[in-house]
């Protein structure tokens, strides 16, 4: 029997295991950076440690902090909201160890932007961890992103130099490196604002930007020059530190300490677009 060549060609090219069209392949989830965030929240110092190796001193004084964070977060944050996390997200040391923590974080509502703190050893660079992040997570370190109508920039941060912080001769190599990383992030944020002049800029800087005497670190001047609107930080874990922590408007910038334990593990609402739309600082003169 002679076979139809066209039929023979189709037969040889057919998939021996055809897709069941009743169950179409699952579409890959897409990141949603464009939908405006109705509300913007902040919280830092989650100190997640799902893979073990947590901060025993921290956990001994806050044995239920993971449950409290989850309960408080779900009570106030909606899926379309934006949550900013300035550092100490996870105690993990490697990309493998941080996976359970990123998965747990993805189970909470809202879009999240993360920056590194002193404990985030897994956070090697924004580019290196990008592929690990879930679809509701972004990261900044010497970079800036725009999510939900907000421009977010950040860097790993450093403590204010103990000696006169206004004198560059007192700056350590680490201080200079962190300042340079922040300046790179601020430049990217300014470029993003060039296309979106009404978007507020928020800087994530894990360490307090001022010292105990309220002397500004060198990064404060850099942020003021860049015209940012908010600077969010954490790192402080005692009541005395929280009471002395600078907050509110100082100069042209609003500051807030958003360490989880300082907030009672409830994210702090920065603004609600429907009631308190923030007014961005004017772009700095060129």
pLDDT at 15 (0 to 100): 37
> 89 in a domain, yes or no?
yes
- pTM listed for this prediction: 0.83
pLDDT at 160 (0 to 100): 92
> 168 in a domain, yes or no?
yes
Q: In the chain, where does DSSP find H-type helix? A: 5-13, 56-61, 65-76, 95-106, 126-129, 173-195, 218-226, 239-244
> 30 in a domain, yes or no?
no
Tell me if residue 113 falls in helix, strand or coil. strand
pLDDT band at residue 246 using 50, 70 and 90 as cut-offs: confident
33-50 b/e (C-beta count within 10 Å ≥ 16 → b): eeeebebbbbbbbbbbbb
pLDDT band at residue 237 using 50, 70 and 90 as cut-offs: confident
Q: Is the pLDDT of residue 30 over 50?
A: yes
The residue whose two tokens read 């990123």 is 102
Tell me if residue 18 falls in helix, strand or coil. coil
pLDDT tens digits, residue range 189-236? 999 999 889 899 999 999 999 998 889 999 999 999 999 999 999 998
Q: CB burial class (10 A; 0-12, 13-18, 19+) of residue 109?
A: middle
**Range(s) of the domain holding residue 102:** 47-272
Return the biggest CA–CA distance within the chain. 96
> 199 in a domain, yes or no?
yes
Q: For the residues 122-132, what does the mean pLDDT come to?
A: 93
Nearest-10 crossing angle of helices 173-195, 218-226? 10
Torsion over CA: 73, 78, 79, 81 (sign):
negative
Which of 280, 270, 256, 279 has the alpha carbon at shortest distance from 39?
270
Which of 119, 186, 189 has the alpha carbon at shortest distance from 151?
189
Count of domains observed in the chain: 1
Q: Is the pLDDT of residue 16 over 60?
A: no
d(CA 144, CA 265): 26
pLDDT at 241 (0 to 100): 80
pLDDT tens digits, residue range 129-182? 999 999 999 999 999 999 999 999 999 999 999 888 988 899 999 999 999 999
Q: Is residue 268 a contact partner of residue 41, using CB atoms and an 8 Å limit?
A: yes
CA distances from 264 to 1, 70, 107, 242, 254 (A): 82, 12, 20, 12, 21
CATH code for position 113: 3.60.21
Which of 140, 262, 278 has the alpha carbon at shortest distance from 205?
140
> 266 in a domain, yes or no?
yes
> 162 in a domain, yes or no?
yes
Contacts of 49 (CB under 8 A, 6+ apart): 55, 59, 90, 91, 92, 101
> 200 in a domain, yes or no?
yes
> 110 in a domain, yes or no?
yes
Decide which of 54 and 107 is more confident: 107
Q: Give 11's Cβ-side CA count (13 Å radius).
A: 6
């Amino acid at each position: 029997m002679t076979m139809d060549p066209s039929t023979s060609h189709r037969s040889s090219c057919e998939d021996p295991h055809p897709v069941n069209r009743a169950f179409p392949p699952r579409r890959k989830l897409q990141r949603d950076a464009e939908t405006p965030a109705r509300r913007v929240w902040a919280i830092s110092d989650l100190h997640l440690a799902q893979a073990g190796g947590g901060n025993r001193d921290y956990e001994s004084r806050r044995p239920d902090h993971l449950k409290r964070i989850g309960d408080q977060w779900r009570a106030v944050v909606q899926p379309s909201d934006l949550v900013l996390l300035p550092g100490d997200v996870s105690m993990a040391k490697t990309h493998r160890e941080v996976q359970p923590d990123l998965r747990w974080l993805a189970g909470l509502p809202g879009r999240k932007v993360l920056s590194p703190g002193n404990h985030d050893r897994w956070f090697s660079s924004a580019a290196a961890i990008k592929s690990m992040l879930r679809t509701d997570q972004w990261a900044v370190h010497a970079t800036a992103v725009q999510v939900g109508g907000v421009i977010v920039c950040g860097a790993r941060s450093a403590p204010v130099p103990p000696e006169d912080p206004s004198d560059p001769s007192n700056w350590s190599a680490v201080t200079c490196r962190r300042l340079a990383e922040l300046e790179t992030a601020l430049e990217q944020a300014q470029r993003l604002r060039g296309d979106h002049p009404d978007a507020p800029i928020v800087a994530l800087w894990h360490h307090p930007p001022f010292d105990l005497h309220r002397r500004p670190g060198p990064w404060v001047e850099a942020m003021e020059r860049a015209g940012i609107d908010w600077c969010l930080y954490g790192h402080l874990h005692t009541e005395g530190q929280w009471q002395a922590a600078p907050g509110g408007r100082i100069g042209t910038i609003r500051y807030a300490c958003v360490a989880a334990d300082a907030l009672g593990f409830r994210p702090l609402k920065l603004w609600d677009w429907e009631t308190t739309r923030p007014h961005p600082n004017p772009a700095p003169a060129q």
